[in-house]
Structure 1
Amino acid sequence: MLPTINKARVLRTPDACFAALPDFPYTPHYLELDDLRIGYIDEGPRDAAPVLLMHGEPTWSYLYRKMIPGLVAAGHRVIAPDLVGFGRSDKPSQKSDYSYANHVAWMAAWMERMDLQNATLFCQDWGSLIGLRLVTHNPQRFARVVLANGGLPTGTAAVPRAFKLWRAFARFSPWFPIGRIVNSGCANKLSPAEIAAYDAPFPSSRYEMAARLFPTFVPASPNDPERAANEQAWEVLKQWHKPFLTLFSSRDPITRGGDKIFLKLVPGTANQAHAVTRGAGHFLQEDKGPELAQKISEFIAATPV
């Protein structure tokens, strides 16, 4: 069942805000989920198995503009949704509308309405916290997984200091320049136009509710409300024998080394071409987008269904 929200308090970023996006010529698509509209990019042949690109926070599908061309050229259908509260998707304005569980429910409903089958998931940051829950709730819809700079925390492990600082900044700072925040997480710095593109979905602070709240939803203590759900998801991953690839980057202070637990516990990681993406920061899609697209295509070709 989808969360109930007050539709009258839902914000929608005006289309004009997206009028001057550099290197992002893709036609937006929309799917209505009762009280919310979900925006997404859908490129490549419709009869091809989809590659589902899940972004994190505080980014949106624009993050994948350097990966989409290579994946489409390799013959894949590429689908990149905007999470609720981000990008072209609707943005509830009430704090009470947001939770980790709600976001999983919204994206699970979107995926089912899209009827994705035989999908390859690529996920990073919050794209993994949500995306891996989609995989473990609907394993029959997925053929393989690629995880980069993300995880599935249960609140029982130590939280990196860098994340604590980020969580405090998101919660308390009166200044929240989203484009500049994304830029700080890249090894290769963004142009002013690219920074503006990350700001585009948020024409005022009223639109930033999700971006502000997401760090507080990461399970960081044993009594977190989503601990049980993530532990259940881990039980599925421990029995996941389908191909599972990790592509973490070398210059991410928050997730660096987070691949080790997946390599230890997920059977599908065995004998895969795991790699550490050198010279890339947290947003490795920005730093090494074409290389990531090539690795995903090689992984799909090497693990036919």
Structure 2
Amino acid sequence: MNDVDPNLTSGPRVLRTPDHRFAELPDYPFEPHYVNVRLGDGSPTEVRMHYVDERPAQSVPGSGETILLLHGNPSWSYLYRHVIPPLVAAGHRCVALDLVGMGKSDKPVDRFRYTYQQHLDWLAEALFDQLDLRDLTMVCHDWGGTLGLRLLAEHPDRFRRVVAMNTGMKTGREDTSGEGWRHLATWLQFTQRSNPLTVSQVVAGLTTSTLDPAVLAAYDAPFPDDPYQHGVRRFAVLIPLTPQDEAAPAFEAAWKVLETSDIPFLCVFGEDDHVTGGRHDALSGRIPGAAGQPHAVLAGAHHFLQEDKPVQVAQAVNDFIRRTQPS
């Protein structure tokens, strides 16, 4: 039986994962926060986006920096549960958003609502119009990076620096003969044909760690059954494969900006990542702000490096902030 919020069914159907699914998640004590954003296409319906907002105690000396943590697919802000506490302890504010269709955020049932542009519109409305976040350090992973890099290109005045992790931004002009693209093709087929799609199995298969059953259950918590998973499934088909893809011009326009950006840019990749194999030159070799930065490739880290090496990830972010703060 689907749990549907009756207040969300007067317009286009939107699902809200019941709160009991998130009860007693291991190592996730964070208080929930929410903003409402427009569903899009002129609909009066709103969707609720969830975010974590953890701040240091006043007695903790810090820089006053705000860190935006963007997850990818098929994860949610739970991915950052071991990264947030050391960053807060270091004096930083951490905001970790759940993309629409993921985590504790609402989940439109119409799968065609999940477009690249709509995800960007939801993010910009939540982060800039609703929360008015500025001077951000963006930490972005997987699709959080693909979306976040476009945000950076369109709103550079909102960001101080970027830490990109196992991510990229394709335009459809890349060579598709490599091993990474074969993995992406396999993932595309898997997401469209698997029923049920068990998210925890995906996460477990892309870490070097052995995840506790309670942790695996936390990754499955947002998705009681298939109608809740349209956002997860749609991400796989949004990657441009040719220059004729409808999103390709927007990616190319973003790259024209990024190729002139001197905003400090750091790559922290996993050595065992199945797509990149730890190679980050597609970003670090093109973005001026990445020149001379101490990019890191973490040994023993797979795609979900926040699970495998959370302490090292937090340390890299904190060190980068300290190194690039104005003197």
Deviation by residue 1:144-176 (Cα, 9 ceiling, x = unmatched): 011110001111113410110011000112231
From 83, 99, 117, the equivalent of 1:67 is 83
1:250 aligns with 2:266: no
Residue aligning to 2:141: 124
Residue aligning to 2:50: 39
Aligned mates of 1:242, 1:169 — CA distance in 2:
37
Aligned mates of 1:297, 1:7 — CA distance in 2:
44
1:76 aligns with 2:92: yes
Select the structure of larger CA radius of gyration: 2
1:286 aligns with 2:307: yes
Aligned mates of 1:177, 1:188 — CA distance in 2:
18
TM-score by length of 1: 0.95
Aligned mates of 1:232, 1:78 — CA distance in 2:
29
Shift of 1:8: 4.2
Stretch deviating more after TM superposition (247-256 or 18-27): 247-256
Residue aligning to 1:274: 295
Residue aligning to 2:167: 150
TM-score by length of 2: 0.89
Give the 3 Å change call, closer, same or farther, for CA 224–8 of structure 1 in structure 2.
closer
Where do 1:175-186 residues align within 5 Å?
A: 175-186=196-207
Aligned mates of 1:171, 1:52 — CA distance in 2:
30
The residue type paired with residue 299 of structure 1 is F
Q: Secondary structure at the match of 1:53?
A: strand
Unaligned runs of 5+ residues in structure 1 are none
Number of residue-to-residue matches in the alignment? 301
Aligned mates of 1:256, 1:227 — CA distance in 2:
24
The answer to whether the 8 A contact 1:149-1:256 is kept is: no
Unaligned runs of 5+ residues in structure 2 are 1-8, 39-45, 58-62
Shift of 1:257: 4.7
1:107 aligns with 2:157: no
Residue aligning to 1:25: 29
Give the 3 Å change call, closer, same or farther, for CA 169–40 of structure 1 in structure 2.
same
Identical columns (%): 44
Residue aligning to 1:260: 281
The residue type paired with residue 259 of structure 1 is H
